[in-house]
Amino acid sequence: MAIQARPLHSVGVPMKRKEDPRFIQGKGHYVDDLSFPGMLYLSLVRTTYPHAEIKSIDISEAMKVPGVKAVITGKDLEAAGLGWLPTFHGFDKQMVLAIGQVLFQYQEVAAVFAETRAAAVDGAEKVQVDYAPLPVVADPFTSKTDKVLLRPDRESKTNHIFHWEVGDKDGTARALASSPKRIKQRIWFQRCHPAPLEPCGCVAYFDTMGRLQFHVTSQAPHVYRTALSLVTGIPEDKIHVISPDLGGGFGNKVPVYPGYVCAIVGALKIGRPVKWIETRTENLTSTGFARDYHMDVEIGATADGKVTALHVATTADHGAFDAAADPSKYPAGIFGIVTGSYSFPVAHAEVDAYFTNKAPGGIAYRCSFRVTEASYAIERGMDILADELGMDAVELRKKNFVRKDQFPYPSALGFTYDSGDYHKTLDVALEKIGYVALLKEQAEKRARGELMGIGFSTFTEVVGAGPSKHFDILGIKMFDSAEIRIHPTGAGIVRAGTKSQGQGHETTWAQIVAEELGLDPQNIMVEEGDTDTAPYGLGTYASRSTPVAGAAIVMAARRIREKARKIAAHLLEVGEGDVEWTDYKFQVKGVPSKTVTMKQVAFAAYTNMSQNEPGLEATYYYDPPNMTYPNGAYVAVVDVDRDTGETRVRRFVAVDDCGVVINPMVVEGQIHGGLTEGFAMAFIQEIQYDAEGNNLNTNFTDYLVPTSLETPHWETGNTVTPSPHHPMGAKGVGESPNVGSPAAFVNAVIDALSPLGVRHIDMPLTRDKVWRAIRDAETRT
Ligand code: CDP
């Protein structure tokens, strides 16, 4: 369906937060604010051993702590058939509490339930565990050797989890071999953590009807309900999952964690509500890490810079369990987008994943399942190729972009890019940053020995999982849904299967309904996150909300409009065929003076509907025909201090194309937040493990979150190429800045250091790492 690229009528009208009842009326609570009579607190005993056999667990001293009501261990859970959790994509299972051995530092070993939070913590400290240490495997390359077998519980006696590949292996090898120019670089996207400001937590209780009431920090409440039913055997109608306000998620709140299962078991066994709230350290050390991909990137090209082939071989560190919450058919997520914005005639990508003695995860941190890793690999690779060719990075990109007239574009790795105008988006960015003047300034500075860099990232990502023919989680197809009810006065409610964690669905979902039905967005209530009321949906992550649920809202609203048309015809005293929807009202065709508004129709739907069915509501389950392919052109300008290695990001321009924009202010907020996270990954963040498997970044003094003091000033812009298959022409945007920006920062720093012959440094580009690279380069010369 071709749609017009036009702004929505309410675009640019900022919601007046204080006056908007939805912000005051909303549930307005976080899980940790909840309190129920008789509530117990859960604290988890965690190991400091990264790999050890459990000889014995003694809970007797813990039980003596005043207020402690119960302690459970992995063996207790195993006896109840709850020892192991299936992981979301179904290739592995995960211990709830350690059984027989521990596999990573801070793994959950026992659960202590007590009258107060302090008593639960005191009790946990008194649980005595006797460990026999085992050899630690702290990196995937050692894991590959299988000298230490990490998962004896599995049938296949190897640490290798899976091999996944896509593309033409032989064709790519042939094309690379015959390419006049060729680069090869190992590029590591370090282990990071989404670090939402609110950690994970839950309150579980069984109500007087014996129904599980489960308040939980979940980005996907319906999937939780189904997963809990499958794991515990509690019928799905006896489970009510409520995901209230979330203080950020970023993918960290997609998996089901051991604390949740223990809270439910405690509530069932003890018969009282149980609350579990993670500490910051627990969040950073045991729940959903991201990235940790070692990517060998090879690109072939002609002598004048036309790319001929791409091969990427990845070694992935998945930690102790394969707990990445990827769609079932995509063990390496949507890594196949690694050809990026470039027209590669042939390509091949492969990923081999290994167990290590580290926390499990591999979650989609503000990312469509490994798209950030893919984008970083190709955007770094293109800069290295430009260096090899002695060509300007912009010229190389422009020479190889998928052209506007090539869309819908079938990529060498099997995607059909829906739309884009990469040349235009880059031109807007170049104009905004003033590229020509910057090149001049850079040349002058270089002549003086100063280190100034200009870095680009012209990325394409793939969001909106996803079409049911390809995408499912635990077999459940990745559609999404919306239900809209319009009340007699023209106010209404929209419920969706998504769950905002700060993305502003409360504003944008109301805007979509208002746009489609000509109603006031201020009087459209938005409700998400309650499985008793919202229609079934797969939740919010991977920028899928707008491409999938946003489309469902449009379609549900259009269903309402079709029903409303019948009532409008009755009010206008003409046949239905004589009524048209124009300028946000119904009008008798060709007679602009004879109109009725949706508000009038809504009242009539309950008071004067004639022979029509009363009421005005609709539900729509949307199965997207394709993914959407947002893209952008980012430019970073940096100055690197030659003596100290300190990098200053002087300017950053981000031009994004996410198709038709619903609300520019919300999108701008998404871009600012994502760029700040990208900046953090590029310069300061890494979850490091030492060779003994000790996690070195267990709190916010070791794992730094940027504040406004170190965050650069962001300059944003946009271009609009509507998605041809989305009913509103919109593409997702939430993850774009996180996906696109790390490469721009790194490319800028490497560009600054290029006169010294530096070609690559792995993130994070800390001051000491850059200082070392400069000193090493000086020693070489
Ligand atoms: O799934 P998630 O909400 O994280 O990501 P998204 O679909 O990219 O949407 C993030 C926010 O940006 C939502 O409030 C969207 O409605 C809004 N958005 C927009 O206003 N226009 C777009 N073209 C895309 C997203």
DSSP 558-600: HHHHHHHHHHHHHHHTS-GGGEEEETTEEEETTEEEEEE-HHH
Cross-strand partners of 202: 216, 276
Measured in Å, residue 504 CA sits from the centre of ligand 1 at 8
pLDDT in tens, 28-54: 578 998 999 999 999 999 999 999 999
Joined together, the tokens standing for residue 43 give 């604290």
pLDDT in tens, 223-266: 999 999 998 899 999 999 999 999 999 999 999 999 999 999 99
Q: How far apart are CA 138 and CA 125, in angstroms?
A: 27
393-400 vs 422-433: helix crossing angle, rounded to 10: 160
| Omega prior to 764 cis, within 30 of 0 | yes
Residue nearest to atom 19 of ligand 1 (CA): 662
Give the mean model confidence (pLDDT) for residues 329-354: 97
Measured in Å, residue 545 CA sits from the centre of ligand 1 at 6
Please list, in sequence order, all residues whose beta carbon lies within 8 angstroms of the beta carbon of residue 534, skipping any fewer than 6 positions away. 221, 222, 481, 483, 495, 496, 497, 527, 528
Measured in Å, residue 107 CA sits from the centre of ligand 1 at 35
Joined together, the tokens standing for residue 220 give 């996907």
Q: How many CB atoms lie within 10 A of CB 81?
A: 10
Give the mean model confidence (pLDDT) for residues 560-577: 98
Measured in Å, residue 663 CA sits from the centre of ligand 1 at 8
Q: Is the CB of 510 under 6 A from ligand 1?
A: no
Q: How far apart are CA 266 and CA 270, in angstroms?
A: 6
Q: Is 420 exposed, middle or buried (0-12, 13-18, 19+ CB in 10 A)?
A: buried
The answer to whether 670 and 689 are in contact (CB under 8 A) is no
**DSSP annotation of 713:** P
The pick from 13, 545, 672 for probing ligand 1's pocket by mutation, whose C-beta has the most ligand atoms within 8 angstroms, reads 545
pLDDT at residue 594, as a whole number: 98
Catalytic site positions: 219, 366-367, 735
Atom of ligand 1 nearest to the CA of 512: 16
Q: How far apart are CA 302 and CA 182, in angstroms?
A: 9
Is a pLDDT exceeding 60 seen at residue 22?
Answer: no
Higher pLDDT, 10 or 686: 686
pLDDT at residue 155, as a whole number: 92
Measured in Å, residue 680 CA sits from the centre of ligand 1 at 22
pLDDT in tens, 295-335: 999 999 999 999 999 999 999 999 999 988 889 999 999 99
The pick from 670, 716, 728, 739 for probing ligand 1's pocket by mutation, whose C-beta has the most ligand atoms within 8 angstroms, reads 670
Task: Band the pLDDT of 774: cuts 50, 70, 90.
Answer: very high
Q: Which domains does the chain have, with CATH numbers?
A: 31-137+208-269 (3.90.1170.50), 416-462+627-781 (3.30.365.10), 480-622 (3.30.365.10)
Task: Band the pLDDT of 5: cuts 50, 70, 90.
Answer: very low
Atom of ligand 1 nearest to the CA of 731: 23
Residue nearest to atom 16 of ligand 1 (CA): 508
The pick from 627, 662, 721 for probing ligand 1's pocket by mutation, whose C-beta has the most ligand atoms within 8 angstroms, reads 662
Measured in Å, residue 311 CA sits from the centre of ligand 1 at 32
Q: How far apart are CA 443 and CA 659, in angstroms?
A: 37
Is a pLDDT exceeding 60 seen at residue 269?
Answer: yes
The beta strands (E) that lie in 118-211 are given as: 128-133, 160-167, 181-192, 201-206
Q: Is the CB of 544 under 6 A from ligand 1?
A: yes
pLDDT in tens, 468-496: 999 998 889 999 999 999 999 999 999 99
Q: Is the CB of 543 under 6 A from ligand 1?
A: yes
Q: How far apart are CA 8 and CA 491, in angstroms?
A: 19
Measured in Å, residue 543 CA sits from the centre of ligand 1 at 7
Q: Is the CB of 697 under 6 A from ligand 1?
A: no
The pick from 463, 667, 677 for probing ligand 1's pocket by mutation, whose C-beta has the most ligand atoms within 8 angstroms, reads 667
Q: Is the CB of 720 under 6 A from ligand 1?
A: no
Q: How far apart are CA 113 and CA 263, in angstroms?
A: 9
The answer to whether 341 and 631 are in contact (CB under 8 A) is yes
Dmax (CA) of the chain: 89
pLDDT in tens, 636-681: 999 999 999 999 999 999 999 999 999 999 999 999 999 999 999 9
Atom of ligand 1 nearest to the CA of 504: 14
258-270 vs 221-232: helix crossing angle, rounded to 10: 60
Q: Is the CB of 251 under 6 A from ligand 1?
A: no
- Give the strand pairing for 472-473 and 476-477: antiparallel
Q: DSSP letter string over 464-531? A: S---TTT-EETTEE--EEEEEEE-TTS-EEEEES---SSS-HHHHHHHHHHHHHT--GGGEEEEESBT
Helix/strand/coil for 737: helix
Q: Is the CB of 89 under 6 A from ligand 1?
A: no
Measured in Å, residue 539 CA sits from the centre of ligand 1 at 13
For the chain, the average pLDDT equals 94
pLDDT at residue 242, as a whole number: 96
The pick from 503, 506, 541, 677 for probing ligand 1's pocket by mutation, whose C-beta has the most ligand atoms within 8 angstroms, reads 503
Is a pLDDT exceeding 70 seen at residue 24?
Answer: no
Q: Is the CB of 734 under 6 A from ligand 1?
A: yes
Q: Is the CB of 718 under 6 A from ligand 1?
A: no
The answer to whether 215 and 244 are in contact (CB under 8 A) is yes
Q: Is the CB of 503 under 6 A from ligand 1?
A: yes
Residue nearest to atom 23 of ligand 1 (CA): 661
Give the mean model confidence (pLDDT) for residues 495-512: 95
Is a pLDDT exceeding 80 seen at residue 20?
Answer: no
Atom of ligand 1 nearest to the CA of 736: 8
pLDDT at residue 21, as a whole number: 40
Give the mean model confidence (pLDDT) for residues 575-594: 97
Helix/strand/coil for 667: helix
Measured in Å, residue 667 CA sits from the centre of ligand 1 at 7
Q: Is the CB of 666 under 6 A from ligand 1?
A: yes
pLDDT in tens, 451-466: 999 999 999 999 999 8
pLDDT at residue 87, as a whole number: 86
Helix/strand/coil for 308: strand
Is a pLDDT exceeding 80 seen at residue 14?
Answer: no
**DSSP annotation of 339:** G
pLDDT at residue 28, as a whole number: 52
Residue nearest to atom 3 of ligand 1 (CA): 545
Residue 369 gets the label, from left (phi > 0), alpha (psi -120 to 50) or beta, of: left
Q: Is the CB of 738 under 6 A from ligand 1?
A: no
pLDDT at residue 701, as a whole number: 95
Residue nearest to atom 11 of ligand 1 (CA): 503
Atom of ligand 1 nearest to the CA of 664: 20
Q: Is the CB of 736 under 6 A from ligand 1?
A: no
Q: How far apart are CA 209 and CA 224, in angstroms?
A: 21
Q: How far apart are CA 766 and CA 663, in angstroms?
A: 36
Q: How far apart are CA 262 and CA 47, in angstroms?
A: 17
The answer to whether 643 and 579 are in contact (CB under 8 A) is no
Task: Band the pLDDT of 279: cuts 50, 70, 90.
Answer: very high
Measured in Å, residue 248 CA sits from the centre of ligand 1 at 15
The answer to whether 194 and 366 are in contact (CB under 8 A) is yes
Is a pLDDT exceeding 90 seen at residue 1?
Answer: no
The answer to whether 595 and 571 are in contact (CB under 8 A) is no
- Give the strand pairing for 715-718 and 647-657: parallel
Measured in Å, residue 769 CA sits from the centre of ligand 1 at 36
Pick from 382, 427, 383, 387: nearest CA to 404: 427
Measured in Å, residue 512 CA sits from the centre of ligand 1 at 12
Is a pLDDT exceeding 90 seen at residue 781?
Answer: no
Give the mean model confidence (pLDDT) for residues 603-626: 97
pLDDT at residue 231, as a whole number: 87
Is a pLDDT exceeding 80 seen at residue 19?
Answer: no
Residue nearest to atom 2 of ligand 1 (CA): 543
Q: Is the CB of 249 under 6 A from ligand 1?
A: no
Q: How many CB atoms lie within 10 A of CB 211?
A: 16
pLDDT at residue 3, as a whole number: 33
Atom of ligand 1 nearest to the CA of 511: 16
pLDDT at residue 436, as a whole number: 98
Joined together, the tokens standing for residue 1 give 């369906």
Atom of ligand 1 nearest to the CA of 662: 20
- Give the strand pairing for 492-496 and 524-528: parallel
The answer to whether 338 and 377 are in contact (CB under 8 A) is yes
Q: How far apart are CA 469 and CA 278, in angstroms?
A: 37
Q: To the nearest whole percent, how much of the chain has pLDDT over 70?
A: 96
The answer to whether 266 and 356 are in contact (CB under 8 A) is no
Joined together, the tokens standing for residue 661 give 């924009």
The pick from 246, 505, 546 for probing ligand 1's pocket by mutation, whose C-beta has the most ligand atoms within 8 angstroms, reads 546
Question: Each residue of 629-651: b (16+ CB within 10 Å) or e?
Answer: bbbbbbbbbbbbebeebebebbb
Q: Is the CB of 671 under 6 A from ligand 1?
A: no
Q: Is the CB of 538 under 6 A from ligand 1?
A: no
Give the mean model confidence (pLDDT) for residues 393-420: 98
